[in-house]
Amino acid sequence: MGPLTLSGRKPQLILTFVSLIAAPGSWTLAEEAASSDRDEWHKLFLAGALAGHMRIVERQLADGGFVTTMMQKLVLKRDTTVLETEATSSVEEDREGRIRGFSVRQRLSSQASEVVGRLVGADLEITEDDGGPGPGSKKTPRRSRLPSDPTAVGPHRMERILDEKLRTAGDSVQLRVFIPELRKFGLQKSSLEAEETVELDGTRQKLRRIRSTLDLLAEIPTLQWIDPAGNLQKSTMPLLGTELKTLRSTMAEILKSDLTSPPEIFLATSVPVEGRVDPSRNHITYKITAKKKAMPFEGNRKLFPAAGQEELRPGTRQERWLRVKRVPHGNPLQLPISPAPELEEYLRPNAWIQSDDELIRAAARKAQGGETDAVQVSIKLESWVHDTIARKNLGTAFASAREVLHEKEGDCTEHAVLLAALLRAIGVPSRVVAGLVYYNGMFVGHMWTEAYLRDWFPLDATQARGFVGPDHIALSVSSLDAATVADIFLDIVPVIGSVTIEVVESGE
């Protein structure tokens, strides 16, 4: 099996990081918007190579509020496949800076998707459109509510506060902010580290260097260089074992940019492993060591949340010992099953897992045949998805189950979401798992599926072996219910380039 079937790291996560380091980031074009008060362009670099650009536009509304918009284009190479994505995100705030709306429009596959939220009472009412049905499918916008945070400030207000409060080295400020790409409120901490002279485009400028972290991103530091007028000139952030950088530019310069040799992010961001990894073994014990002083997400999230994974000793700030077991099939379980109430979200259809779609339901029934044992049906669905996705390639960033069924192409993420949808369509709770899988002497990003059969049971339609071996290391699980694509990869990105893996024991 080649790397084309294994990649799990997605550009939208990188776009989320770009949104965070670009200063405030986002907008919603409102009809009452006046002329643009701010219009700036930035080049994006990953591992020193030009990877795209972003444009930030700010408009003041007639009632004194503001709309801040970020448009982004990102071009990356995954192995030999060039992948291009686009996204536009928005935040609208009132004259005091309180959040009153947002939108995120993105194209991660052949179909564009859109999420819009408007403040109604104390909640953001959210409408999610997955981009449209395939032939024979019925389009169903998804609606949900998100409790708003009245203490959070929008992009315009945040910039004003930072410019006012961060004037002398050592100054610091904490702000509640809203990240539209994640649909979450978080705590941002910023401090002025120093004033320094920086050479940009052949000229020397005196800039303020501001360090910021966000709790939603495990306190990963971002550095921003701000000129005396408050304009962002440069920013850097550690990402995927390398550096993500933005540099202020102009529309004319960006139109001349050459994006024909984008950075490669699949094999270049693999995690090395010492020792032999045999997927046919019943269990393998790994020592995972942070290259720096602390493990990624130390004290923030559970590091290894999926089925068959167990930490063997109390973790330290720099080291974890993880045993990964092959989960047995278990005894037969007759359909229909009656899951516990806490599993409801793993049965609900959503914008990525459209298990209520007529064609997905029909496909699930066809793959099921006359089998009534939920365990055997799950394995049959795994095999059916593997065979149905005939064109296995890296050309899709992230597609919904409905689109995958129609297009019949993709990589591990497309296999995972389609299998999750088919499982829910027959009444089996399911979730997707993001993590690492062993491939050719290294661990690479991957996604697979888990079905709830008395307990969580892993399935991997990319490989379709009827079992998931201990060559999989899970870092994140999600129902994808009211979750964003970026959110499920937040546990993976800090690990890439930050740890080493060693096999310390392998059991029959």
Do 169 and 293 reside in the same domain of the chain?
A: no
| pLDDT level of residue 487 (50, 70, 90 thresholds) | confident
| DSSP string computed for 229-242 | TS-EEEEEEEETTE
Integer CA distances (angstroms), 214 to 49, 174, 470, in order: 26, 10, 33
pLDDT at 448 (0 to 100): 97
pLDDT at 301 (0 to 100): 58
Range with lowest mean pLDDT among 42-56, 116-130, 206-220? 206-220
pLDDT at 33 (0 to 100): 38
Exposed / middle / buried, residue 118 (Cβ in 10 Å: 0-12, 13-18, 19+) = middle
Do 324 and 356 reside in the same domain of the chain?
A: yes
pLDDT at 8 (0 to 100): 35
In a domain, 263, yes or no: no
pLDDT at 135 (0 to 100): 54
pLDDT at 302 (0 to 100): 66
Do 249 and 324 reside in the same domain of the chain?
A: no
In a domain, 419, yes or no: yes
Q: Where are the beta strands (DSSP E) in 268-339?
A: 271-274, 283-290, 309-311, 319-325
- At residue 194, does pLDDT exceed 80? yes
Do 197 and 289 reside in the same domain of the chain?
A: no
pLDDT at 91 (0 to 100): 96
What would the pLDDT profile of 39-50 be if each residue is shown by its tens digit? 999 999 998 999
The mean pLDDT value of the chain amounts to 86
Rounded Cα–Cα distance for residues 99 and 112 (Å): 25
pLDDT at 30 (0 to 100): 38
Do 38 and 121 reside in the same domain of the chain?
A: yes
Rounded Cα–Cα distance for residues 150 and 197 (Å): 38
Q: Residue with structure tokens 């539209």?
A: 180
In a domain, 410, yes or no: yes
Contact 410, 417 (CB under 8 A): no
In a domain, 5, yes or no: no
Integer CA distances (angstroms), 362 to 31, 131, 385, 390, in order: 43, 21, 14, 19
pLDDT at 40 (0 to 100): 94
Do 193 and 287 reside in the same domain of the chain?
A: no
Do 279 and 246 reside in the same domain of the chain?
A: no
pLDDT at 4 (0 to 100): 32
In a domain, 310, yes or no: yes
Report the candidate in 213, 253, 206 with the shortest Cα–Cα distance to residue 231. Answer: 206
Top pLDDT among 495 and 435 is at: 435
Count of domains for the chain: 2
In a domain, 262, yes or no: no
- At residue 415, does pLDDT exceed 70? yes
Do 375 and 348 reside in the same domain of the chain?
A: yes
| pLDDT level of residue 334 (50, 70, 90 thresholds) | very high
Do 349 and 462 reside in the same domain of the chain?
A: yes
113: left (phi over 0), alpha (psi -120 to 50) or beta: beta
- At residue 175, does pLDDT exceed 90? yes
> Which of 203, 224, 255 is the last residue before a domain boundary?
255
- At residue 217, does pLDDT exceed 70? yes
Contact 45, 247 (CB under 8 A): yes
> Which of 196, 227, 255 is the last residue before a domain boundary?
255
The full length of the chain comes to 508
Do 288 and 233 reside in the same domain of the chain?
A: no
pLDDT at 20 (0 to 100): 44
pLDDT at 494 (0 to 100): 77
* Residue 129: strand pairing partners: 114
In a domain, 3, yes or no: no
Longest distance between any two alpha carbons in the chain, whole Å: 73
Report the candidate in 267, 244, 291 with the shortest Cα–Cα distance to residue 498. Answer: 291
Top pLDDT among 32 and 365 is at: 365
Between the ranges 34-48, 67-81, 228-242, 462-476, where is the mean pLDDT highest? 462-476
Do 45 and 183 reside in the same domain of the chain?
A: yes
Domain span holding position 71: 10-255
CATH code of the domain in which 399 resides:
3.10.620.30
> Which of 255, 286, 318 is the last residue before a domain boundary?
255
Q: Where are the beta strands (DSSP E) in 328-441?
A: 391-392, 409-410, 430-439
What would the pLDDT profile of 279-303 be if each residue is shown by its tens digit? 999 999 999 998 876 666 554 456 7
Integer CA distances (angstroms), 147 to 100, 114, 118, 122, 126, in order: 12, 20, 11, 6, 11
In a domain, 2, yes or no: no
Rounded Cα–Cα distance for residues 65 and 47 (Å): 38
Whole-number CA gyration radius for the chain = 23
| pLDDT level of residue 7 (50, 70, 90 thresholds) | very low
Do 249 and 280 reside in the same domain of the chain?
A: no
Top pLDDT among 480 and 302 is at: 480
pLDDT more than 70, % of the chain: 88
Contact 498, 475 (CB under 8 A): no
Rounded Cα–Cα distance for residues 180 and 104 (Å): 7
Rounded Cα–Cα distance for residues 275 and 470 (Å): 14
